[in-house]
A and B are shown apart, each in its own frame.
Chain A
Amino acid sequence: MEKKILGYVDGRLKESERLEVEKHLAACAGCRLRANEFRAVSGLLDELPMIEPSEAFDLRVHARVAAEPLKQSWWAWFTSSPRVAVAAAMLLLASVWVGTHSTNNQPQIAQEDIPVLENLDVLSSFDVLSELPPPVQADDGGQQQNPQM
């Protein structure tokens, strides 16, 4: 009965439940007294007045909402900022161009260059160079240059 007595006082019971409670109250003085007391408590709670929010309340809420960072998807971010979109597109094109260009200028190691690389010790040994004959001197108008001077 305790779970229905407040609903009865507040008129929130279904018709069948209300009739059931009324039947019980007619026979139970204790529950009848309790129902009357709960009704009195409910009436006392009605006596508390409502308060009004302050005049600044709405302004404060709007100010806090306005201060919220915009929450957008990455696509919306692009569409709402044409300059960013153009800059991003140019950056993308530049990246593609640089990538393509640098690929074409990559030093190609031809198959015939490989033996040279294999003789790297010879190239780095300057003793071999001293055994070479002196270079043929070009005739540039009578001036002679001696590389060993």
Chain B
Amino acid sequence: MEVIDIIKPENQVFNKTCLMTDTTLSYCPGCGHGVAHNLAMEVIDELGIVEDTIGVAPVGCSVLAYDFMNVDITQAAHGRAPALATAISRTWPDKYVFTYQGDGDLAAIGTAETIHACNRGENIVIIFVNNGIYGMTGGQMAPTTLPGMSTSTSPYGRDIETMGMPLKITELIANLPGTYYVTRQAVHTHKHVRKAKKAIKTAFENTRLKKGLSFIEIVSNCNSGWKMNPNDSNVWMEENMFPYFPLGDIKVKGKLKQ
């Protein structure tokens, strides 16, 4: 059988969601951002809510998220996405409002906006991709950079005596009464992808039910910033990132998991 004979609608096993554009991703090969984008768009597509969805893009590697996500998006200043999302959700209470942010954006420059949006329990979804480094600006130390990890601004490794430990902002906001659903996921294997997608779906369903704030951290790799090949970076992530940032639900239906 020729290949051309196989390519038929009845043989199709996967369909790219129309909510991902055909624009070539600007992410490095092997980066988790593309998968995380795709999951968010698949969920919005499957829930049939695109007409009522408004996204807020960050500053960082995903600053151009709007080039790839085929939904209405406002691009925010560095760290301010939760403030924008707050206002959009308050003035359009029946819309699905989500932010998509990295670790520098959400856990450093935007810490105040993150904590207060969470504390107010805004009816929004926050998707937080944590790869422990500033990718866009060329691999500088992030609030989530692991102890001893070398970056361009911690060339001798993160010194916790002077820079403190990596910020577990997800645990921090989970302890605020305003958050309803807080979970930490990954997207480097098909098993993790399925779990992460389920978490994102739960988050958007929470918005529909006006349950308040859903927060999904995705621990991801940055093979370019970490200066590894994609496979090695995923192994390194499992061995080093996951012990400090353990995967799983942290808060479900407003209750902390013990």
Task: Determine if chain A interacts with chain B.
Answer: no
Which residues of A come within 8 Å of B, CB atoms? Answer: none
